Copies of this chain bind each other. A is one copy, B any other.
Amino acid sequence: MLDKTNHHMTSAEFREAGREVVDWIADYYDWIEKYPVVPDIEPGDIRKNLPAHPPEKGESFDAMMQDVDQIIMPGITHWQSPNFFAYFPSNTTFPSILGEMISAGLGVQGMVWKTSPACTELETHMMDWMVELLGLPPRFLSSGKGGGVIQDTASSAVLCAMLAARERVTARQSNKTGTPSNLVAYTSTQAHSSVQKAARIAGIGDDRIRLIDVDATFAMNPTALEKAIQEDRLAGLVPFFVSATVGTTSSMAMDDIYSISKVLDDSIWLHVDAAMAGSAAVCPEFRGMHDGVEMADSYCFNPHKWLFTNFDCNCFFVADREALINALSILPEYLRTPEHAAGAIDYRDWQVPLGRRFRALKLWFVVRHYGSKGLQTHVRQHIELAKEFESWVSKSNQFQLVTRRSLNTVCFAHRKGNDATERILQKVNATGKLFASHTKLGDQYTIRMVIGGHNTKHRHVLAAWDHFCSMAEEVVPQ
């Protein structure tokens, strides 16, 4: 099909190959349930089928697609399977894929306004839409002092927040003289490891990040936070950053942002990580989890988790964009463009990398395809399914809840304890019929059932429960 002598795929050839790939993707979703959710392979099994050396001459598109099917697909963990209940979901959807295709086709760089104005302006506009969609406080709107930006992940968002806080608390000295050795950051024992990773990167270090105790619901204890801050101040240290979590990674626990904000003064930057849970705020009835976010300096959530937009798409908001830009802009004033001076946003100054692709397109496609009503429908369905799963667990003679359900996440364990629970989970996952992952809550080995896949329906959740129950009967002596 391809003329390999000119080393260039023509647009006519691309039309044909592109249609094949579109059909390949559609076929994948039509048949996704036929694959084991997790492949049964060992490290090295994929590489051994790949040629040791790159080709000298170009190969045909057909040969490449054949290898996708025969070499790559046997090594895929199917995150988009309706039977994927592990970790947190990383949803993609057809409208999102279409947006990503256009972004790849245009191939523009959005590091400053001028390098593709539409890339920057659509992104700012989508971030403002998100404030409205999630009912977030107006301080995060670009029309005021705040604003939003798309980061790759919540890890990068918390790093940027911490850098902004570091620069603010040192009155813009830390970028010049280095990270002072007296700054202290706080988060809970249940927070995502990215907070600690950010503290390492930013030169704070493990010794000056406090992992605050949690209460019975695995939410940060604000009194313990207040006490830790007081102790550090008495020791001559400078508390500067708190990361609260709305929907922890282990059990979707909800830190009480309002109570946390009450023990902080203005010198401490409050970041809110709602990476997974935030999307639920498209439904007004779940917005209570955000109470107090109007006191936060920054906030983020991941449409690439539960708002059906393919990775990477983290929405990161700040109340004071100048604080962020002060921390991350590398340019002296005289190098700023006229458009920047006129108020145009240069997003390179809002993130760690310089380059950036046109990620707002896919988010725009998703929001427009579903509308707020459609997004609500999907989120509510997942939470209803989780409620039903919770009811099955609570009526079970074999299993019990480890903590109360939160949104779409049910944490449960076998009544006979950790060994039984672990064996059941491993054997259920080994069937390939579903994939769930585990955590430890206190000392308890816990199965996490997270229902957030775009294609997950009632029958998949019911089948998963049946698998857990019959495996329990098989491996745990009654």
Residues of chain A touching chain B, judged by Cβ–Cβ distance below 8 Å, are: 2, 4, 7-9, 11-15, 17-19, 21-30, 38-39, 41-47, 50, 53-59, 61, 63-64, 68, 71-80, 87, 90-98, 100-102, 104-109, 113-119, 121-122, 124-125, 129, 132-133, 152-153, 155-156, 159, 163, 174-179, 181, 192-194, 196-197, 200-208, 304, 310-312, 328, 330-331, 339, 342-344, 352-355, 357, 361, 364-365, 367-374, 377-378, 454
Q: Who on chain B is nearest to A282 by CB?
A: B54
Structural contact, B365 and A178, CB atoms closer than 8 A: no
Complex Cα distance, B205 from A60, in Å, reads: 50
A101 touches B102 (CB 8 A): no
- Which B residues lie within 8 Å of A361 (CB)? 68, 72
CA distance A27 to B364 in the complex (A): 22
Query: Are B107's CB and A80's CB within 8 A?
Result: yes
Let me know if A311 and B378 touch, CB within 8 A: no
**Minimum C-beta distance from A14 to chain B (A):** 4
- Counting chain B CB atoms within 10 Å of each CB, the highest count among A30, A331, A357 belongs to A357
Chain A at the B interface: SS class: helix
Q: Which of B64, B330, B369 sits near A197, CB closer than 8 Å?
A: B330
Give A195 to B80 CA distance when docked, in angstroms.
38
In angstroms, Cα B191 to Cα A354, docked, is: 14
Q: Which residue of B lies closest to A378 (CB)?
A: B7
Task: Tell me if B122 and A14 are in contact (CB < 8 A).
Answer: no
Residues in chain B near residue A344, CB distance under 8 A? 43
- Judge whether A43 and B343 touch: CB under 8 Å: yes
A75 (CB) vs chain B CBs: closest residue: B118
Complex alpha-carbon distance, A44 and B415, angstroms? 60
Q: List 16 A-B contacts (CB under 8 A).
A: A7-B374, A15-B22, A18-B23, A25-B102, A28-B105, A47-B124, A56-B373, A61-B95, A79-B109, A90-B109, A100-B101, A179-B205, A194-B354, A201-B201, A201-B352, A203-B203
